[in-house]
């Protein structure tokens, strides 16, 4: 009984952590989307400014460097999101395995108790 409770507690903990990981992935995905939209807006503004004076062209070059940093950050965040998603999938799979093992343990315990009662 204690082992079953321990396993159930572990399953609950893994499921809770999986839920937190999924929430984190969703927040990261939302951030990536916002950054992507910002990068698109910056790119549009840069295209409009290209036809302007040399001073504006110099400012565009500076904005371009900033946009590159944003693009790099998007890549890093996307990679982190992919890694987190993969880890969350592994945790969920482990939780499913533990749940199956807990069910098997419950079944075996029930069988043992039935055998002991019959004896």
pLDDT, position 100: 92
Neighbours of 22 (CB within 10 A): 16
Residue whose pair of structure tokens reads 């499921």 in the numeric block:
15
- pLDDT (0 to 100) of residue 96: 83
Domain boundaries, the chain: 2-118
pLDDT < 70 stretches in the chain: 46, 49-54, 56-57
State pTM to two decimals. Answer: 0.38
Q: How far is CA 110 from CA 2, 3, 6, 107, in A?
A: 14, 13, 17, 5
pLDDT of residue 54: 62
Looking at residue 51, its pLDDT comes to 56
* CA 28 distance to own-chain centroid: 7
Return d(Cα 69, Cα 42) in angstroms, integer: 12
């Amino acid at each position: 009984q204690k082992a079953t409770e321990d396993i159930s507690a572990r399953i609950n903990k893994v499921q809770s952590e999986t839920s937190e990981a999924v929430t984190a992935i969703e927040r990261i995905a939302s951030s990536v989307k916002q950054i992507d939209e910002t990068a698109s807006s910056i790119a549009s503004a840069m295209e409009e400014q290209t036809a302007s004076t040399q001073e504006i062209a110099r400012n565009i070059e500076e904005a371009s460097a900033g946009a590159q940093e944003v693009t790099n950050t998007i890549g890093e965040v996307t990679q982190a999101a992919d890694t987190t998603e993969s880890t969350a999938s592994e945790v969920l799979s482990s939780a499913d395995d533990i749940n199956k093992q807990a069910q098997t343990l419950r079944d075996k315990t029930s069988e043992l108790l039935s055998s002991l009662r019959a004896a």
